[in-house]
Amino acid sequence: MDLAGAAPGWYEAGCFNPGGPIMLPDDIVNFVYGRPAWQIALYLVAVNLITFLTYGWDKLAAMERGWRVSEGMLHLLGLIGGTPGAFLAQQLFRHKTRKQPFRTIFWLMVICQILAGGWLVLRGSGYI
């Protein structure tokens, strides 16, 4: 669906617009496939390292009854690509491994990311 004329200023057909309120599927594909692999890899390493360290910080704060990181922030870090780092931190620090609905939301996010990754691969290879 072409929305180029529907909302000027936030969407240009075929282009990723980070200032816009929503990313359409074509925006995501263009963003991912328009980048060299090393940039995507660097992004994923950085976001997973930040996620891992944030979970560690939160576990330490929980043990010392200090300032905590919100569950929303932990989910946001996972949502933007940090689920592998979050999973590793959960296992290593034994943090957020039993709390519901946190676990359910986390695993739903993982499933959605796997499906989205598969969709990107199929879309990029021309099957979709």
pLDDT tens, residue by residue, 54-69: 999 999 999 998 899 9
Mean per-residue pLDDT, 88-98: 89
The per-residue b/e assignment along 66-98, b for 16 or more CB within 10 angstroms, e otherwise, is eeeeeeeebbebbeebbbbbbbebbeebebbee
The domain total for the chain is 1
Task: Write out the residue range of the structural domain in which residue 87 sits.
Answer: 25-124
How far from the centroid of its chain's Cα atoms is residue 95's Cα? 19
Distances (CA, A) of 10 to 16, 28, 51: 10, 15, 30
pTM: 0.72
Give pLDDT tens digits for 12-62.
Answer: 444 444 555 555 566 666 677 777 878 888 999 999 999 999 999 999 999
* Domain assignment of residue 11, yes or no: no
In a domain? residue 16: no
Per-residue pLDDT, averaged over 108-120, amounts to 90
